[in-house]
Structure 1
């Protein structure tokens, strides 16, 4: 398994690197630390363009060397410097070239309030990546936790839920960590005709939770720690805050039904969850990828 860390010499980049190390250690994965630099914007005039790219490449290599020094010896890591006009495109292209399984980025930057603050680049990835994107909340770099403690999977009944569950099961099995399946009752549009009947909504959610729990158990070794729970509230934020969270936890959510085939699109529910969560979030495409889907 390979994980791409979208690195920048910023606090958000440090968060992404720290989370990448935690995931790599947990999953037995290799880290590919990628720095995307902007090419010279002007045509060469007396070698000016070449000199510019040489200087910025030299600085980029220094940043990557410093990043590599932060990776513990028990994690295999390599660095890559590339030039691309668009950071997100460059990162996705490098992920395809390296055969990566997921992208890890830092959530620091302008945008959504809270511990997650998504800048333009991360926002582009969350609306276009063909691979799962792992977003690190601000401050992961300060955590002393070395491995993932528990995998939480937020499930609904939309298209892509089966793939999301399968991804969560594989991740928990590979990590050897407990799996918690969560259903946010009052917030899934599938319950639209029953919004005034909270008891009926809870009963349907309970049945769905039972079904997903059994499906997960069938794919996991006997005795593997897996649980299912439902939470409700007046808002997504209210429901999510009712769950217990610990440093080292991670949550998987599915891509919006509005996404293009085999591409991510951060839905409104996941975006609202980002506002109150301080654990890493993995956004999973709703369709299975094929080789043709990568650039």
Structure 2
């Protein structure tokens, strides 16, 4: 990545906003991207619903600018950034509009209140983005603000499947791996949810063969000169599979959108949602490709 590549961070003056900003800064530092830190204010804050009150509008905007400046100061001068106030009907709508305005390749948001340390929880804003945005969305786990920016990105894990959309995840993972100079891992999640009475040994063989096929196909699709390790996670559930894997402190996981997503849009499916509950690292959801 370069200065022309932009990352939009949805900032709020709380721990969730601090987590989003910290992860955005770490990713921007690793990719030499430009950080667009955006605070979305409700449309009524500028008199869109109630009679216009210039004094109140100035107060809200000044307070928000102060919060942005204080948060930005903690990042340091090494990360190129710009601070913005925007008005919108909803936080998610404002962030998507900001991504379009700045030509951003990623939107970063924090977890909802109540998330366990090191885990992500989807709130209303993230849910709206993860089911409608047309650019990739990253969700920073609670506590991301404690991870030093200098750690950078230590590994990219691409969760690969056979459904349509796997190619988009692979391509995005390769690009991010090149930009961050981080190693690439191809991951096939093969939870074994056995129907009653099904032979366990047969199910295990079938799952293993499926995983091998997924990973072999993904490796063949890698561009020349790009190498990746492969890993297969097994367990009685997606959650158990994720818990059984090793995760680096500076790792990022990329997943694709559900088959229910319309082309060029996000839709976080059930597998991604289950992964998210157990992942101790940020997840990026990639829109479904056009074809």
For residue 288 of structure 1, report the CA deviation from its aligned partner: 4.8
Q: How many residues align?
A: 278
Alignment of 1:57-72 (within 5 A): 57-72=61-76
Find 2:157's aligned residue among 152, 158, 173: 152
Q: Match for residue 256 of structure 2?
A: 254
Alignment of 1:144-293 (within 5 A): 144=148, 146=150, 147-186=152-191, 197-216=203-222, 219-221=223-225, 225-288=227-290
How far apart are the structure 1 equivalents of 2:74 and 2:116? 28
How far apart are the structure 1 equivalents of 2:160 and 2:280? 19
Q: Match for residue 292 of structure 1?
A: none
8 Å contact 2:118–2:144 — kept in the other structure? no
Matched position secondary structure for 1:115: coil
Aligned-residue RMSD, C-alpha: 2.3
Greater mean deviation of Cα atoms: 179-188 or 22-31: 179-188
Matched position secondary structure for 2:157: strand
Distance 1:187 1:33, change over 3 A: farther
Matched position secondary structure for 1:117: coil
Q: Match for residue 10 of structure 1?
A: 14
Greater mean deviation of Cα atoms: 94-103 or 137-146: 137-146
8 Å contact 1:168–1:252 — kept in the other structure? yes
Matched position secondary structure for 1:35: strand
How far apart are the structure 2 equivalents of 1:36 and 1:61? 11
Structure 1, unpaired ranges of 5+: 290-295
8 Å contact 1:116–1:274 — kept in the other structure? yes
How far apart are the structure 2 equivalents of 1:76 and 1:159? 36
How far apart are the structure 2 equivalents of 1:116 and 1:205? 27
TM-score normalized by the length of structure 1: 0.88
For residue 180 of structure 1, report the CA deviation from its aligned partner: 0.3
How far apart are the structure 1 equivalents of 2:167 and 2:49? 48
Structure 2, unpaired ranges of 5+: none
Deviations 1:224-280 (A, max 9, x none): 551111111110001111110121011000011111221111111111111111100
For residue 82 of structure 1, report the CA deviation from its aligned partner: 0.7
Deviations 1:170-194 (A, max 9, x none): 1101111100000012369xxxx99
How far apart are the structure 1 equivalents of 2:14 and 2:219? 40
Runs (4 or more) in structure 1 with deviation over 6 Å come to 111-114
Matched position secondary structure for 1:197: helix
How far apart are the structure 2 equivalents of 1:275 and 1:43? 40
Matched position secondary structure for 1:157: coil
